[in-house]
């Protein structure tokens, strides 16, 4: 029986339960479905925190592994799910109210896919899990059928996602042709000790391209701002955080721990990854400067963050791997509160335009303070949490002797401070007496944002809990986060 | 050592003040009380330092084999004591000068306290992580202080200053990373006390020292407004509200010099010697170029901004002199300049509030209408010129003597700096003191400082200027062993 209670199974079951409940309950009495989804995702988070180190069902064969990395990232994805469900409950659906259950249930399936990705040790498993994530996302991004922007987002995501899947499948096919296997450890055994064939390198390149779309790395980033802007905000946050993190977990798996952790691959792909990182940081930071829409702004900020993580990853050492793990958690903790704020801003003001922030420091000091701390943390300003992440990236690059990446990273961190200060400037000294909206922000928003801001400060001053998490993720054997071994 | 709890108290009280103000306590009164009360743990710590040489607070040092070995450790010795004294006094005076009826007073005093807190934390930290982080705490509050309450081109000044300082800080961060990783692997630590001893025992290879010293120079130099990294400073100070300019020019700028004394000199001695020709060029530019630029200023705030940036050149001369006398002079001048710059900006702010302008040609007759204000302007001006009896003179003369044997030409340049700043200051004082009284000053009912309530912030700064000027050993006594250790091979 062991293994059948792993988070993935329960996530899928929960999704099914939600859809069944929707179809069984008469039309007028569906009011409690969102609440049920929220409670269930909360329970699942607790379960995952407790049991994330549990092995998968034995009948799933050798496709999955439970190790430190998977036990650190399964809770990450379920935490994202909790946030997304919370936002979905708050999301104003308008006429589409009738089919709301799918809007709640699909993220559960998607999260199951993400959790599987965190454990995958075979390219076939990766492919299946990625499609489980992606197909749900295509549906969700276009969910707002009456809004052109949402449809456009769905189409763009579909086309780009299809393209990236194409690259990935092609890569897997080449890989199979070159090595005769899709299993990580077999590939590693097969390739160890001799120089890589051209076909194998081509396969690695194609797979990297496919994953590059997922993490929105330059030059595969162009879909991100449009899709983030058009998709319903809960889905934007899922794409911005969970989906990006999944891409990085896969990169960590294949380049750090699994199939491609080879010297012959490193010789070719270390410069490639670092160059991608430099391009991504630069474009993400510079393109964020002129943005006036907070969702687009966050999209470019996310691209810049992906660039920093790519730079750390590109050093292909254990320090770089740990840095990426820590950075992803920092990204989650600092970006999610802002996305929740954006949702409420859309409810109150009708759009995510930056000008709605004008004078927020006067109107709603608590919200403004929390938001400011999150933005500054993203900018990597000490003593906030983001500084530890940036410091870790810079230290990794310094030790690896990657001076060009280091210099670009430093310069872009300064420019980055410039664009993260824009909303702060708007909140605190732009047109101070902006028209007070008829609707006020709900009171829970203040607490969420203050809590988030306080967390940035607290963890920034004592990053030890995060360091523990990183250490655990690098461990070969698995332990759940709350399960001391 | 339970008495060392006075160190976290020094940081805890302002933090408590920040929280209290945020929760709605009366802003100015809370800030004032916190600044006054903070003198209690301060004097306790000063006493301990004088008796025992140094005090430490926090857990034992661990090496970096732990993934991320940051530890919250505080310490104070003879070198940080005068700077902490400076921070406390200038913070108190800045809060005293700040007016309670300023718009959005809650945020205003909150930012002021945060700037002071950042400076205190940086001077108190022993762990490089916190040393760096605390300095950055002051960055965003200064951005807001200039942006919301500033004057003139406040938006441009705020952006320029913030981004420039961030760039400087990140270059500095690279230098710090380099220092830590230059130590042998088993002995790597973020504690600069341990690190400097480690690097003394295992010196860094000389070509690496060269680069590290250069990184630290550019990083700290930007924070100190060393030419050519100075352009944020004069405009930033001119646009900032008076209390912010006092804290920035008086205290925060000293962080860069403190860092050079603490880290660059003892950890990269060879590199520091090797780039001293470069520093010599830069500091000569600071003294001559900024000195000449200050001659051209017609606005009192800009004049003070330029003259404050200019005097940093003289401090650098002390740092490359290679003698204990020069280092001591640099320390005294750092502290003296902190008090005199703060006094200058305080007076300029007060004049701006009352006369509505700080254009010097419009300020004629200040001496008759506002003799007390004029007196403190005179004190600040004379201190900045280096009149004997005040702290700046003691510092400058020690620097000139200390650097004479190594850099006689630069000492000549420094002497010209004294001449230039004398011309600039005396011209300013003449045009303000004599001539026709401006309309704004004539109509203003209380042109002068009114009673002890308004005078005390100026008086305490003046007191310390004279106290240190007349008895420089107040500072030098406890600092001497630390400075000697810095120069020991």
- Report how far residue B458's alpha carbon sits from residue A99's, in angstroms, rounded to the nearest whole number: 71
pLDDT category at A483 given cuts 50, 70, 90 is: very low
- The two tokens of residue B123 are 């001077």
Task: Name every chain A residue with its beta carbon within 8 A of the beta carbon of B163.
Answer: 414-415, 417-418
Mean pLDDT across the stretch B435-459?
77
Best residue in A359, A378, A384, A410 to probe B by mutation, most B CBs within 10 Å? A410
- Name the burial class of residue A2, with classes exposed (0-12), middle (13-18) and buried (19+) by CB atoms within 10 angstroms of its CB: exposed
- Report how far residue B115's alpha carbon sits from residue A186's, in angstroms, rounded to the nearest whole number: 58
Cβ pairs bridging A and B (under 8 Å): 82
Best residue in A382, A396, A426, A465 to probe B by mutation, most B CBs within 10 Å? A382
- A20 to chain B, closest Cα gap in Å: 48
Residue showing tokens 């003040």: B17
CB contact under 8 A, A428 and B130: no
Among A382, A388, A394, select the one facing B177 at the smallest CB separation: A394
Strand, coil or helix: B76? strand
A384-411 tens-digit pLDDT: 999 999 999 999 999 899 999 999 999 9
Other C-beta atoms closer than 10 Å to the C-beta of A222 total: 14
Asked if residues A184 and A64 have their Cβ atoms less than 8 Å apart, the reply is no
Among A418, A428, A471, select the one facing B163 at the smallest CB separation: A418
Task: Name every chain A residue with its beta carbon within 8 A of the beta carbon of B144.
Answer: 424, 428-429
Give the 3-state DSSP-derived string for B186-228, with helices as H, strands as E and coil as C. Answer: HHCCCEHHHHHHHHHHCCCCHHHHHHHHHHHHHHHHHHHCCCC
pLDDT at A479: 52
The answer to whether residue A166 neighbours chain B at the CB level (below 8 Å) is no
CA–CA–CA angle A414, A420, A423 (5° rounding): 150
Looking at chain B, which residue has its C-alpha nearest residue A361? B107
Looking at chain A, which residue has its C-alpha nearest residue B175? A398
- Report how far residue A31's alpha carbon sits from residue A404's, in angstroms, rounded to the nearest whole number: 56
pLDDT at A434 over 70: no
- Report how far residue A426's alpha carbon sits from residue A430's, in angstroms, rounded to the nearest whole number: 5
CB contact under 8 A, B68 and A463: yes
Closest listed residue to residue B117, CA positions, set B81, B143, B90, B77: B90
Other C-beta atoms closer than 10 Å to the C-beta of B176 total: 26
The answer to whether residue B198 neighbours chain A at the CB level (below 8 Å) is no
pLDDT at B171 over 70: yes
- Report how far residue A111's alpha carbon sits from residue B175's, in angstroms, rounded to the nearest whole number: 42
CB contact under 8 A, B144 and A391: no
Mean pLDDT across the stretch A224-241?
93
pLDDT category at A2 given cuts 50, 70, 90 is: low
Other C-beta atoms closer than 10 Å to the C-beta of B453 total: 9
Comparison of pLDDT for A194 and A235, the residue scoring more: A235
Asked if residues A223 and A296 have their Cβ atoms less than 8 Å apart, the reply is no
CB contact under 8 A, B177 and A467: no
CB contact under 8 A, A383 and B167: no
Q: Among A180-184, B84-88, B307-311, B400-404, where is mean pLDDT lowest? A: A180-184
Among A387, A399, A414, select the one facing B163 at the smallest CB separation: A414
Among B68, B166, B181, select the one facing A414 at the smallest CB separation: B166
- Report how far residue B56's alpha carbon sits from residue B34's, in angstroms, rounded to the nearest whole number: 23
CA–CA–CA angle A361, A80, A157 (5° rounding): 95
pLDDT at B170: 94
Among B70, B139, B181, select the one facing A398 at the smallest CB separation: B181
pLDDT at A484: 40
The answer to whether residue A395 neighbours chain B at the CB level (below 8 Å) is yes
Percent of chain A at pLDDT > 70 equals 94
Distance set, CA A469 to CA A68, A75, A181, A464, B119 (Å): 9, 11, 32, 9, 32
- The two tokens of residue A174 are 């080449």
Closest listed residue to residue B9, CA positions, set B46, B51, B47, B45: B45
- Report how far residue A290's alpha carbon sits from residue A110's, in angstroms, rounded to the nearest whole number: 33
Q: What are phi and psi of B450, to 5 degrees?
A: -115, 100
pLDDT at A106: 93
pLDDT at B445: 65
- Report how far residue B19's alpha carbon sits from residue A91's, in angstroms, rounded to the nearest whole number: 34
The answer to whether residue B140 neighbours chain A at the CB level (below 8 Å) is yes
- Report how far residue B297's alpha carbon sits from residue B291's, in angstroms, rounded to the nearest whole number: 10
Q: What is the mean pLDDT of chain A?
A: 88
Other C-beta atoms closer than 10 Å to the C-beta of B378 total: 17
Best residue in A289, A393, A425, A473 to probe B by mutation, most B CBs within 10 Å? A425
Closest listed residue to residue B369, CA positions, set B431, B430, B434, B428: B434
A248-292 tens-digit pLDDT: 999 998 888 777 888 888 889 999 999 999 999 999 999 999 999
- Report how far residue B115's alpha carbon sits from residue B108's, in angstroms, rounded to the nearest whole number: 11
Closest listed residue to residue A173, CA positions, set A161, A163, A182, A165: A182
CA–CA–CA angle B196, B394, B52 (5° rounding): 45
Task: Name every chain B residue with its beta carbon within 8 A of the beta carbon of A395.
Answer: 177, 181
pLDDT at B446: 67
Looking at chain B, which residue has its C-alpha nearest residue A359? B148
Best residue in A323, A329, A391 to probe B by mutation, most B CBs within 10 Å? A391
Strand, coil or helix: B69? coil
Closest listed residue to residue A8, CA positions, set A59, A42, A68, A55: A55
- Report how far residue A91's alpha carbon sits from residue B344's, in angstroms, rounded to the nearest whole number: 56
- B129 to chain A, closest Cα gap in Å: 9
Task: Name every chain B residue with its beta carbon within 8 A of the beta carbon of A399.
Answer: 181
pLDDT at A317: 85
A48-96 tens-digit pLDDT: 888 777 778 877 778 888 888 888 999 999 999 999 999 998 887 765 5
Residues of B (312-341) whose Cβ lies below 8 Å from A: none
Closest listed residue to residue A341, CA positions, set A399, A284, A294, A395: A294
Closest listed residue to residue B397, CA positions, set B301, B330, B307: B330
B196-254 tens-digit pLDDT: 988 998 888 888 899 999 999 999 999 999 989 999 999 999 999 999 999 999 999 99
Residues 6+ apart with CB under 8 A from B178: A398, B208, B211, B212, B215
The answer to whether residue B144 neighbours chain A at the CB level (below 8 Å) is yes
* Beta-bridge mates of residue B56: B75
Q: What are phi and psi of B53, to 5 degrees?
A: 90, -50
CB contact under 8 A, A398 and B178: yes
Residues 6+ apart with CB under 8 A from A475: A67, A68
Task: Name every chain A residue with its beta carbon within 8 A of the beta carbon of B134.
Answer: 383
- Report how far residue B248's alpha carbon sits from residue B86's, in angstroms, rounded to the nearest whole number: 12
The answer to whether residue A315 neighbours chain B at the CB level (below 8 Å) is no
pLDDT at A294: 93
The answer to whether residue A462 neighbours chain B at the CB level (below 8 Å) is yes
- Beta strands at B74-77 and B54-57: parallel, antiparallel or unpaired: antiparallel
pLDDT at B63: 56
The answer to whether residue A351 neighbours chain B at the CB level (below 8 Å) is no
Whole-prediction pTM: 0.93
pLDDT at B68 over 60: yes
pLDDT category at A437 given cuts 50, 70, 90 is: low
Mean pLDDT across the stretch B367-389?
89
- The two tokens of residue B240 are 């900032």
A154-192 tens-digit pLDDT: 999 999 999 999 999 999 999 999 988 888 888 888 888
Other C-beta atoms closer than 10 Å to the C-beta of B350 total: 23
Closest listed residue to residue B80, CA positions, set B171, B190, B192, B205: B192
Looking at chain A, which residue has its C-alpha nearest residue B121? A383
Among B104, B132, B143, select the one facing A421 at the smallest CB separation: B143
- Name the burial class of residue B151, with classes exposed (0-12), middle (13-18) and buried (19+) by CB atoms within 10 angstroms of its CB: middle
pLDDT at A193: 80
Other C-beta atoms closer than 10 Å to the C-beta of B462 total: 20
- Report how far residue B188's alpha carbon sits from residue B458's, in angstroms, rounded to the nearest whole number: 46
Comparison of pLDDT for A26 and B171, the residue scoring more: B171
CB contact under 8 A, B72 and A461: yes
- The two tokens of residue B363 are 């300020």
A119-152 tens-digit pLDDT: 898 999 999 999 999 999 999 998 888 888 889 9
CB contact under 8 A, B67 and A376: no
Closest listed residue to residue A397, CA positions, set B392, B181, B247: B181
Q: What is the mean pLDDT of chain B?
A: 90
Which sign, positive or negative, has the C-alpha torsion A99, A103, A108, A109? positive
Task: Name every chain B residue with its beta carbon within 8 A of the beta carbon of A387.
Answer: 133, 136
What is B368-404 written as a DSSP string? Answer: HH-HHHHHHHHHHHHHHHT-TTSHHHHHHHHHHHHHH
Residues 6+ apart with CB under 8 A from B486: B261, B265, B266, B327
User: Could you say which DSSP state residue A442 is in?
Assistant: P
pLDDT at B67: 61
pLDDT at A485: 35
pLDDT category at B187 given cuts 50, 70, 90 is: confident
pLDDT at A94: 65
Q: Among A205-219, B108-122, B433-447, where is mean pLDDT lowest? A: B433-447
Task: Name every chain B residue with its beta carbon within 8 A of the beta carbon of A415.
Answer: 163
The answer to whether residue A398 neighbours chain B at the CB level (below 8 Å) is yes
The answer to whether residue A382 neighbours chain B at the CB level (below 8 Å) is yes
pLDDT at A431: 66
Asked if residues A111 and A77 have their Cβ atoms less than 8 Å apart, the reply is yes
Straight-line distance from the first to the last Cα atom of chain B, in angstroms, rounded to the nearest whole number: 31
B393-405 tens-digit pLDDT: 999 999 999 999 9
Residues 6+ apart with CB under 8 A from A162: none
User: Could you say which DSSP state residue B299 is in?
Assistant: B
Asked if residues B59 and B21 have their Cβ atoms less than 8 Å apart, the reply is no
- Report how far residue A284's alpha carbon sits from residue A298's, in angstroms, rounded to the nearest whole number: 10
CB contact under 8 A, B130 and A383: yes
- Report how far residue B97's alpha carbon sits from residue A278's, in angstroms, rounded to the nearest whole number: 48
Asked if residues A431 and A358 have their Cβ atoms less than 8 Å apart, the reply is yes
CB contact under 8 A, A467 and B134: no
């Amino acid at each position: 029986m062991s293994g059948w209670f792993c988070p993935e199974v329960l996530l899928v079951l929960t999704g099914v339960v939600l859809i069944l409940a929707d179809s069984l309950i008469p039309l007028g009495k569906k009011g409690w479905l969102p609440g049920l989804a929220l409670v269930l995702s909360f329970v699942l988070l607790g379960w995952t925190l407790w049991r994330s180190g549990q092995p998968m069902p034995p009948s799933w064969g050798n496709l999955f592994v439970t190790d430190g990395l998977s036990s650190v990232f399964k809770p990450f994805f379920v935490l994202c799910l909790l946030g997304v469900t919370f936002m979905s409950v708050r999301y104003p659906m308008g006429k589409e109210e009738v089919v709301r259950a799918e809007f709640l249930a699909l993220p559960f399936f998607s999260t199951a896919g993400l959790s599987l990705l965190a454990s995958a040790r075979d390219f076939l498993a990766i492919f299946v899990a990625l499609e489980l994530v992606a197909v749900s996302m295509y549906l969700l991004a276009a969910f707002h059928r009456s809004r052109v922007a949402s449809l456009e987002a769905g189409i763009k995501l579909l086309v780009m996602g299809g393209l990236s899947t194409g690259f990935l499948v092609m890569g897997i096919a080449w890989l199979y042709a070159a090595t005769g296997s899709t299993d990580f450890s077999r590939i590693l055994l097969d390739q160890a000790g001799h120089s890589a064939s051209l076909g194998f390198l081509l396969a690695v390149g194609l797979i990297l391209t496919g994953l590059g779309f997922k993490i929105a790395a330059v030059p595969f980033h162009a879909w991100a701002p449009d899709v983030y802007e058009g998709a319903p905000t809960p889905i934007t946050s899922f794409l911005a955080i969970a989906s990006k993190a999944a891409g990085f977990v896969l990169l960590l798996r294949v380049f750090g721990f699994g199939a491609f952790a080879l010297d012959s691959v490193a010789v070719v792909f270390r410069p490639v990854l670092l160059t991608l990182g430099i391009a991504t940081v630069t474009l993400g930071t510079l393109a964020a400067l002129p943005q006036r829409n907070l969702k687009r702004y966050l999209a470019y900020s996310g691209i810049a963050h992906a660039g920093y993580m790519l730079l750390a990853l590109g050093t292909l050492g254990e320090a770089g791997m740990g840095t990426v793990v820590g950075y992803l958690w920092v990204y989650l903790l600092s970006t999610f509160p802002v996305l929740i704020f954006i949702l409420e801003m859309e409810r109150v003001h009708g759009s995510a335009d930056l000008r709605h922030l004008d004078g927020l420091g006067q109107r709603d000091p608590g919200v403004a303070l929390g938001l400011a701390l999150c933005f500054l943390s993203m900018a990597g300003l000490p003593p906030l949490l983001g500084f530890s992440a940036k410091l870790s990236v810079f230290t990794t690059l310094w030790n690896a002797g990657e001076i060009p990446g280091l210099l670009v990273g430093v310069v872009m961190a300064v420019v980055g401070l410039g664009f993260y200060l824009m909303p702060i400037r708007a909140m605190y000294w732009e047109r101070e007496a902006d028209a007070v909206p008829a609707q006020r922000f709900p009171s829970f928003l203040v607490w969420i944002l203050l809590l988030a801001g306080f967390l940035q400060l607290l963890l920034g001053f004592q990053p030890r809990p995060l360091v523990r998490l990183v250490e655990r993720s690098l461990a070969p054997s698995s332990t759940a986060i709350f399960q001391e071994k | 050592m339970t008495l060392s709890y006075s160190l976290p108290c020094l940081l805890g009280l302002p933090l408590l003040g920040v929280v209290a103000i945020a929760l709605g306590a009366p802003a100015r009164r809370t800030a004032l009380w916190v600044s006054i009360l903070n003198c209690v743990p301060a004097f306790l710590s000063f006493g301990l330092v004088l008796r025992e040489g140094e005090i430490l607070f926090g857990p034992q040092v661990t090496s970096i084999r732990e993934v991320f070995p940051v530890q919250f450790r505080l310490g104070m010795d003879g070198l940080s004591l005068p700077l902490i004294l400076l921070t406390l006094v200038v913070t108190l005076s800045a809060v005293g000068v700040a007016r309670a009826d300023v718009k959005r007073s809650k945020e205003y005093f909150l930012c002021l306290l945060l700037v002071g807190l950042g400076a205190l934390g940086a001077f108190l930290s022993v762990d490089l992580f916190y040393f760096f982080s605390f300095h950055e705490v002051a960055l965003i509050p200064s951005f807001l202080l200039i942006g919301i309450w500033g004057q003139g081109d406040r938006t441009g000044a705020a952006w320029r200053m913030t981004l420039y300082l961030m760039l400087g800080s990140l270059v500095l961060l690279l230098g710090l990373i380099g220092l830590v990783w230059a130590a042998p692997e088993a002995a790597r630590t973020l504690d600069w006390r341990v690190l400097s001893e480690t690097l003394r025992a295992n010196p860094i290879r000389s070509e690496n020292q060269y680069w590290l010293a250069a990184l630290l120079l550019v990083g700290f130099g930007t924070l100190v407004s060393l030419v050519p990294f100075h352009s944020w400073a004069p405009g930033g100070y001119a646009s900032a509200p008076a209390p912010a300019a006092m804290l920035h020019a008086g205290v925060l700028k000293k962080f860069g010099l403190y860092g050079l004394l603490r880290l660059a000199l003892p950890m990269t001695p060879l590199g520091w010697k090797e780039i001293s020709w470069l520093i010599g060029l830069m500091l000569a530019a600071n003294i001559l170029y900024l000195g000449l630029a200050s001659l051209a200023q017609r606005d009192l705030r800009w004049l003070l901004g330029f003259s404050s940036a200019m005097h940093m050149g003289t401090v650098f001369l002390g740092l490359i002199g290679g003698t204990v006398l020069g280092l001591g002079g640099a320390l005294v001048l750092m502290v003296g300049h902190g008090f005199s710059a703060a006094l200058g900006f305080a007076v300029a702010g007060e004049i701006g509030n009352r006369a509505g302008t700080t254009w010097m040609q419009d300020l004629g007759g200040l001496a008759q209408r506002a003799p007390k204000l004029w007196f403190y302007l005179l004190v600040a001006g004379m201190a900045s010129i280096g009149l004997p009896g005040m702290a700046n003179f003691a510092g400058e003369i020690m620097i000139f003597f200390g650097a004479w044997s190594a850099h006689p030409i630069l000492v000549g340049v420094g002497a010209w700096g004294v001449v230039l700043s004398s011309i600039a200051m005396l011209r300013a004082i003449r045009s303000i003191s004599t001539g026709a009284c401006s309309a704004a000053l004539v109509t203003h009912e209380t042109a002068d400082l009114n009673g002890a309530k308004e005078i005390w912030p100026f008086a305490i700064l003046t007191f310390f200027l004279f106290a240190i000027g007349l008895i420089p050993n107040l500072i030098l006594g406890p600092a001497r062993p630390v400075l000697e250790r810095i120069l020991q091979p």
